Every structure is written in C-alpha cells, then in structure tokens.
Chain A
Amino acid sequence: MKHLIDIKDLSVEEIDELITVAKDIMANKEKYAKKCEGKKLATLFYEPSTRTRLSFEAAMLDLGGNVLGFSSAQTSSASKGETVEDTVRMVGGYADIIAMRHPKEGAPFVASLKAEVPIINAGDGGHCHPTQTLTDLLTIHCEKHRLSDLTIGICGDLKFGRTVHSLITAMSRYSNIKIVLISPDELKLPDYVKRDVLEKNHMEYVETNDMEEYMPELDILYMTRVQQERFFNEEDYIRLKDYYILNEEKLENAKKDLCIMHPLPRVNEIAVEVDDDPRACYFKQAKYGKFIRMALILKLLEIK
C-alpha cells in the first residue's frame, strides 16, 4: 500500500505515469466514469480549504465513487481531543482512501504510520502539499508540453510557501531548469532549500526583489500569495502582503507564450485585468487539479 505524503514519495517515472493518465482522463472522461464504483474517499480537513477539498471530492465523484468527511476540526472528533492516529484508524473502517488536510506539519505522516488505507497529504501547515505540486506539473506539461528546458520565475512568499518548496524540489529532477526567485528580503527562500535542493542538484538560480528584471526570460511565472495564517505577527503580514502586484504593465516585456500560474486563492497579487490575458493559466491550473487527483486516486487504489 502506498501513501502520498511528500512529492519525493513519487519517482519521476511515477509522476510521468500520473500525467499520462490525467491527460487520458481529460480526453476520455467516459472511460473513467465508473472506475471507482463502490469506493469511498474520506476527506479529513482539519482546516478550511475550498479548492483542494472540492477538487478531491469532484475527482472521486467523476470516477464513480462516493465521498464522506468533515471540513473543519470543530466538526470532527479532534475537538474532543482524538489523535490523528485514532481518527484515521477509525475512518479506515469506513473509507477506501483518505485525503487529509491538517494545520500541523507532519500530521498526515503520523496518520500514514497506522492507516490501513492509502493516505494523501492534502496540505500540512507550511510543510508539504504534494497534490498541488502534481497539479503544477500537469499544468506545465499541458501548457508547455515539457518539464525540462524551462526558466521559471517564482514570486511572492518563498519563505513560508509550501507550494514553492515542493515545486522547486519536483523541478530539480528535470534537466536544464533555471529558477528565478523573486521576493522581498524577509520572504526569501530558506537557506536549507537553496543548499539541499538547488545547490545539491546543481540547478541554476538567481534571487532578485525586482519583479520585472527577469520577466523577458521567463517561460513560467508562478505567483504566490503572502499567507496571513503563516504569520505570528500581524504587522509583518500587513507590510508584506501587497509587495508584488502583477498587472498588464509589468507583463509588457514578457514572452508571448508565458504561462502565469498561481496555486490560488489569489488576493491582490494578480490584478483582475490579467485574468483576460491569454497567458493567465491559474484558473485552468485549478481545473487540471481535479484530473491529476483522479489519476492519483486510481494509482493509490491500484485500479487500472
């Protein structure tokens, strides 16, 4: 039985396989409509999430399965002090697969130690969010038709942004990737990610706080939100939240086939006027999220 806790749990070959299946699902929805008939997905969401939970549920429903679960810790037995381990042991008796979102880092890993059904980490604090990374990889593959030979700008909160760390880790396994890190000094990529991922894999990277400096070179611009929930200090959040706002003017020198991504929700960091730009891919990206989750559910349930 396999779990997905960290994107590193999947080999490059497994990711390729998931992308292939996701693309096949997109092209042949009918073929997959009953693949999970009689199966149940439990979504255990200890903190609010719209996109991730709905995309997991939509994924399972589109595979012909059913869903059950809770969407906040207050409506679960966690409010009575039940441990994560006990909850998943119990839920494992009701469902065939579990997607877990938890504000505490490492909670899905703890769950996987005792679970009798596959566990998918649907985000654990600022730690990992592997299905977002799979979504990002599918988006890049669909939009650029490759996962190598790319210059990727990543902008915003590079310190706390879990999607950023996972994306960089995932991209480190492909060739000829250049990463442009765009952030204010306070939200720079942590040194250990630079050392353990970028430098260890000899990846080319630059750091800047000027959003436009490398714009003409970029194949992908990955925008992120400064997340209020990751700050202990309200003042720091207010000071940094509007540091970068992407608008049409800033995109003037960008490539015509730039792919603008964002894990969503967006707050102010992308002006609404950019939504109509053909280079804006973030809503498509959210849609791709359902298809890669469908492929993942099939893989973990070992359904061909």
Chain B
Amino acid sequence: MRRGPSWFNLVSLTVGFAFLYLPIVLLVVWSFNASRLVTVWGGFSTRWYVALLNDSQLLDAAWITLRIGLISATAATVLGTLAAIALVRGGRFRGRTLFSGMVYAPLVMPEVIMGLSLLLLFVAMGFARGFWTVMLAHTTFTLSYVAVVVHSRLVSFDRSLEEAAQDLGCTPAQSFLQVTLPNIFPAVLAGWMLAFTLSLDDLVIASFTSGPGATTLPMRIYSQVRLGVTPEINAVCTLLIAIVATGVIIWSVAQKWRAREAVRTEAVRSG
C-alpha cells in the first residue's frame, strides 16, 4: 500500500534537481555560444572547440592528467581492495581500529591539509616534485574511496561460497582469485572509476604536490579561470561532462543488461 509521491515530493524533487543541474546545463549551452557574454546568445558556434584543439598547453595538461589518473587509480584500486578485504575478512587483528581509522580518515580530511602534509613529506624525502609525486598523492587519497566501495560489496557477498571452494581443495589464494574476485569485480571496477575521476578532478592536492612541468588539467583550468572567463573552458568542461555521462550511461546499461541476462539464464534453467 505504498503511496506514490505527493505534490510536495514532486516539487522538492524538481527544485532540488533543477538546482543540481542548472549550472551544468548552462555550461554546456555557453560552450556553443558564439558570443563571449553569457547573457547574449550570439548564435550556435563550435569556435571554442576549435580554439581548444589549438591550445597545446591545455592538451598537454590533459594528457598528463589522464596518465596520472590511470596509474594512480590502478594503484589505489589494488591497495583499496586489499584494505577492504582485510577489514571485512581479517577478523579482529591487532591494530585494526587504527588501520580502519587510517583507511577512512582521508575521506573527510580537508584537501589543503593533505596537500600540505604530502608536500612536506616529498620535500623531506628529497623527491623532485612533478608527475610522480602527484601520482603518489592521488593514490593515497583515492584508495579510501575504493576501500569503501569494495567494502560494501564484500559485506553482502556470501562467504560460504569461499568456504565451499576451500573445502573442495582450493588454496585461499585460489578461492580468492576464482570465487571472491569475480564476485566483487563490479565493485572493484566502480572503485577504479571513482578513483580515476577523483584524480582527474583534483586541484588542491595536485597544486601542492606538483612541480614544474607537471601542470594538470584542473590546475590549468584554475589559472585560466583566475585570469578571467574564457569560453574555451566551457568547451573543455562540456567535453569532460560528455565523457563522464557516456561512461555512466554505458555502465548502467551494461548493469541492466547483465541483470536481464541473469534472469533469462535462471528462467532457462528452471524451465
């Protein structure tokens, strides 16, 4: 007897989502505006996208950002998945409270503090700041997000499957690779994607830990925005939004398709 949404629910949803999406929609619209002004519609134009293609500094920054994102997301996924496994399956090992504290603290730690502390570490260790220091910093703050995503999947995963595999003669490592990993894989992938986008997006930590020659895309966008509004930035933003939206749509369609496929297999089996 669940009642549907009332008018109040509908109004709050409409207002809330309008608030969330208005700025994003506007950016996309402005990126196709021939005029520099946001209030004047100068006709549809792709001139800012053309300008973008000729901006080698911006393209360089995008390439660096992409590489940092790929490497750090992969490293963070390995570390974060291990952390989640230890927290869910490790039992009450010594130092567990401290460990879980360290895993989850970066989620809420202000970025300025993390940036500053990592910078001091790199200076103290005598690392030259640049590509690799940003990569290490991004791995550190994104691994927590991976851990959370994988953790919630592991908790709901039926442990008896692993035990069955071991009863049938699998070593713990084999049962992990052949039973657990395929089961938690969607969460591991989601964690990777989350780590990747967080790395692409980060301005503050990258600014602290980067050095000459390793300007990331957000750092470049930030300095452009500080200098004044350039419509070119709207074009970059639209492209980024398009990439992310496509990824998310493909992901959710694939999930739905997999679910339908599973239902069908089940139906064939029982029928």
Whether chain B is bound by chain A comes out as no
Residue positions of B touching A, CB distance < 8 A: none
